[in-house]
Amino acid sequence: MGWTALHFASSAGENDIVNRLALGLNINERCLCGGTPLWVATRKGHASTVHPLLSRGADADISGGGERGVDTWTPLFVASRNGNEAIVEIPLEHGVDVDAVTHDEYTALAEAVLQGHERVASFLTAYATR
């Protein structure tokens, strides 16, 4: 696994601990599977943890995971795949590319559509066309 304390706190949605640890640790540290604390928090659906990580300098363009394919999934892609409306907006507020693609050439919008997440797809479409 190779997780740091920040990975564990992000996975559990422990915002107070995340905020304290983010001051002294590499906020973009990858675990053995390639995920950053931001990626882990996104995958676990902790919107309230995603925002402070980004505010403290987490890079929302770093993809994560370890298995083939998942290694090119950004936090925006993961949130779109999971249909997590609360998280999808947060990386966009921090300037991530809404049109970024995975190794399979899928965008977050395409993944939201494939997974049947209509509200996320509508939001991403509106964001991309503004």
What's the CATH fold of domain 5-128?
1.25.40
Q: What confidence tens digit (pLDDT) does each residue in 17-69 have?
A: 999 998 888 999 988 777 899 999 999 999 999 999 999 999 998 887 655 55
Q: Which residues pair with 73 in a beta bridge?
A: 64
Q: What confidence tens digit (pLDDT) does each residue in 68-121 have?
A: 555 678 999 999 999 999 999 999 999 999 999 888 899 999 999 999 999 999
Q: Domain locations in the chain?
A: 5-128
What pTM was computed for the model? 0.89
Name the band, by pLDDT with cuts 50, 70 and 90, for residue 1. low
Which of 47, 38, 33 shows the shortest CA–CA distance to 3? 33
Q: Which residues pair with 64 in a beta bridge?
A: 73
Length in residues, the chain: 130
